[in-house]
Amino acid sequence: MTYCCGLRLKEGLVFISDTRTNAGVDQISVFRKLYIFGKPQERFIAIQTSGNLATTQTVIGHLRNQIELQENINLYTVNSMFEVAQLVGKTLRKVIADVTEDTLEQSNYYCSLLVGGQIGQGEIQLYNIYPQGNFICATPDTPYFQIGESKYGKPILDRALTYDTPLDEALRCGLISFDSTLRSNVSVGLPLDFAIYRKNSLTVPKAKRITQNDEYFQIISSQWSAMLRESLNKIPKPSEVYLT
Amino acid sequence: MTYCCGLRLKEGLVFISDTRTNAGVDQISVFRKLYIFGKPQERFIAIQTSGNLATTQTVIGHLRNQIELQENINLYTVNSMFEVAQLVGKTLRKVIADVTEDTLEQSNYYCSLLVGGQIGQGEIQLYNIYPQGNFICATPDTPYFQIGESKYGKPILDRALTYDTPLDEALRCGLISFDSTLRSNVSVGLPLDFAIYRKNSLTVPKAKRITQNDEYFQIISSQWSAMLRESLNKIPKPSEVYLT
């Protein structure tokens, strides 16, 4: 499985992805699921992938190929993030259709994608793209999307993250969401990749990698566990009425 | 959907269930999913249900009917918790088979059950019973089972619950697991039913109900949210290295 989380906040965008893939429990590998595209001063695009690995890699392959072959419509020629979402959605839909015409079987090849970024003076955007090629867009009311094993890490995002959360606090909150997921589900695993984009910077930040030895993640992971247990102990115990 | 959680601890058993059922999003109802059977001084049996409501209610109906008709084998005649699990499993399997012979279609009628309790001098036990009628048993290594929407509430159990946790702390931890689930998934809803059985007491505690107005649950819910945000703020923010 996979866990990817994309945040579209007032100050900018945060993307965090794990890297574990598995075909059964005896074939576990590390694959990147966060891809960065862009040209400084012009555009920044990040894509996160979840689902069938052959499908996601082929989608990324096509998107890169379109750029290399200088096709009319590619990630570097489209004019807006909306057009980026359309291009990625169309590409994804085609990749799945290429594998099988049997619509019932198609779900075996499904994947979901998060696509975020900024082009020129346009707004920053974050899209959740479905296997059918259609998509929804993050808003201040719903400032984050998750794909893959999303449930373990959702409660902390629901409680602590808002559109106005600063980027550094959002990264911290997102990493705790990952820590919760890593602890409860072995199909999500380190290392993590993340990227942070500050609104209107039009830089192309490289994805950074958090490995087992990352000092900050170790702090988060150990402190958070200790604090949860401490907080739990501070909550009054149920009275006798509840226990008899 | 549903969320039920059963704990088999050193001191005894804890069962917590929500009560929300839904057929689509426009048909939401309240149904009990925690059933208590027993005879004081002799046996205590609790059953939690998740999945197709017609199936689970029919299973409970059969189990009650077996008792009323004084059939040779019923919940009040079997000699051990293992035999209880076998009886419930066999009953469940038969209920599903009665609805359809098409094994592919059967999964539409699936449900999962947790069954725990104690008979006479036997050990306390907790079983997770699958739609096929087979089952697994909780142990000190794995002292809890969840059925239904289990993922949101799993991280706190994984971090804070062990076999040695006292019953009052276990109830507190379990209710926080429910609070996390309630916040992040509308298909799980109040009121909650819970029951606590102290090992070797051979009492038959009634299930208690936690409604929206329950004072203790309100305390848990509001304090826990505040403490999570407070704890989050105590964790150092990522350094500039992470943000650029």
According to DSSP, residue B15 is labeled E
**Rounded Cα distance, B93 and B103, in Å:** 12
Q: What is the mean pLDDT of residues B161-166?
A: 96
**Rounded Cα distance, A193 and B144, in Å:** 33
The token pair at B242 is: 């992470």
Is the minimum CB–CB distance between A76 and chain B shorter than 8 Å?
Answer: no
**Rounded Cα distance, A55 and A131, in Å:** 10
B119-to-A155, B11, B45, B202 alpha-carbon distances in Å: 38, 16, 8, 8
Chains A, B: CB pairs < 8 Å:
126
Q: What is the pLDDT of residue B106?
A: 87
Average pLDDT, rounded, for chain B: 94
Task: Give, to the nearest 10 degrees, the angle between helix A167-184 and helix A215-234.
Answer: 80
DSSP A176-201: HHHHHHHHH-TTS-S-EEEEEEETT-
According to DSSP, residue A237 is labeled P
Question: How does pLDDT run across B185-202, given as a tens digit for each residue?
Answer: 888 889 999 999 999 999
Count the neighbouring beta carbons within 10 Å of the beta carbon of residue A30.
11
Within 127-166 of A, beta carbons closer than 8 Å to B belong to 149, 151-152, 154-156, 158-160
Instruction: Select the residue of A155, A167, A228 nearest B160 (Cβ to Cβ).
Output: A228
Instruction: Select the residue of A152, A230, A238 nearest B172 (Cβ to Cβ).
Output: A238
Instruction: Select the residue of B224, B243, B244 nearest A235 (Cβ to Cβ).
Output: B224
Contact B36, B206 (CB under 8 A): yes
Q: Amino acid letter at A78?
A: V
Question: How does pLDDT run across B50-78, given as a tens digit for each residue?
Answer: 999 999 999 999 999 999 999 999 999 99
Contact B165, A233 (CB under 8 A): no
Is the minimum CB–CB distance between A94 and chain B shorter than 8 Å?
Answer: no
B240-to-B58, B130, B144, B167 alpha-carbon distances in Å: 60, 50, 42, 45
Class of domain A3-234: alpha beta
Q: What share of chain B in percent tops pLDDT 90? A: 84
**Rounded Cα distance, A131 and A147, in Å:** 12
Interface pTM (ipTM) of the complex? 0.83
Residue B24: which pLDDT band, with cuts at 50, 70 and 90?
confident
Q: Amino acid letter at A106?
A: Q
Residues paired with residue B30 on neighbouring β-strands, in sequence order: B20
What is the phi/psi pair of residue B48, to 5°?
-110, 145
Contact A16, A174 (CB under 8 A): yes
Q: Do B231 and A231 touch (CB under 8 A)?
A: yes
Is the minimum CB–CB distance between A243 and chain B shorter than 8 Å?
Answer: yes
Task: Write down the domain spans for chain A.
Answer: 3-234
Interface with chain B: mutation pick from A142, A217, A230, A243, highest number of B CBs within 10 Å: A243
Q: Do B184 and A225 touch (CB under 8 A)?
A: no
Q: Do A151 and B155 touch (CB under 8 A)?
A: no
Task: Check whether B26 has a pLDDT greater than 90.
Answer: no
Q: Which residue of A lies nearest to B217 if distances are taken between CA atoms?
A: A238
Contact A192, A182 (CB under 8 A): no
Q: Do B159 and A220 touch (CB under 8 A)?
A: no
Q: What is the mean pLDDT of residues B110-126?
A: 97
Residue A243, min C-alpha distance to chain B (Å): 6
- For residue B237, the chain A residues in CB contact (below 8 A) are 168-169, 172
The three-class DSSP label of residue A109 is helix
Instruction: Select the residue of B156, B194, B196 nearest A228 (Cβ to Cβ).
Output: B156
Find the Cα–Cα–Cα–Cα dihedral A150, A153, A154, A159, rounded to 10°.
Answer: -170
Is the minimum CB–CB distance between A195 and chain B shorter than 8 Å?
Answer: no
Q: What is the mean pLDDT of residues B34-57?
A: 96
Instruction: Select the residue of B151, B172, B173 nearest A152 (Cβ to Cβ).
Output: B151
User: Which of B187, B186, B203, B183 has the alpha carbon at shortest distance from B195?
Assistant: B203
Q: Determine the distance from the C-alpha atom of residue B36 to the mean position of all C-alpha atoms in its chain, rounded to a whole number.
A: 12
Q: What is the pLDDT of residue A23?
A: 77
Contact B64, B97 (CB under 8 A): no
Count the neighbouring beta carbons within 10 Å of the beta carbon of residue A35.
23
User: Which of A228, A216, A171, A46 has the alpha carbon at shortest distance from A119?
Assistant: A46
Instruction: Select the residue of A208, A220, A236 nearest B235 (Cβ to Cβ).
Output: A220
- For residue B152, the chain A residues in CB contact (below 8 A) are 151-152, 154-155
Instruction: Select the residue of A183, A219, A232 nearest B236 (Cβ to Cβ).
Output: A219
B239-to-A2, A69, A162, A230, B173 alpha-carbon distances in Å: 26, 40, 21, 25, 33
Largest Cα–Cα separation, chain B: 74
The token pair at A168 is: 């550094």
pLDDT average per 10 residues of sequence, chain A (244 residues): 95 96 81 96 97 94 97 98 97 93 86 97 97 95 95 93 96 96 89 97 96 93 92 91 81
Angle at alpha carbon of residue B43, lines to B96 and B35, rounded to 5° = 40
Region of B12 (left: φ > 0; alpha: ψ -120 to 50; beta: rest) is left
- For residue A176, the chain B residues in CB contact (below 8 A) are 232, 235
Question: What CATH number is given for B3-243 in this structure?
Answer: 3.60.20.10
- For residue A228, the chain B residues in CB contact (below 8 A) are 156, 159-160, 231
Residue A160, min C-alpha distance to chain B (Å): 6
Residue A65, min C-alpha distance to chain B (Å): 29
- For residue B158, the chain A residues in CB contact (below 8 A) are 183-184
Contacts of residue A56, Cβ cutoff 8 Å, sequence gap at least 6: A33, A49, A50, A111, A113
Q: What is the pLDDT of residue B242?
A: 85
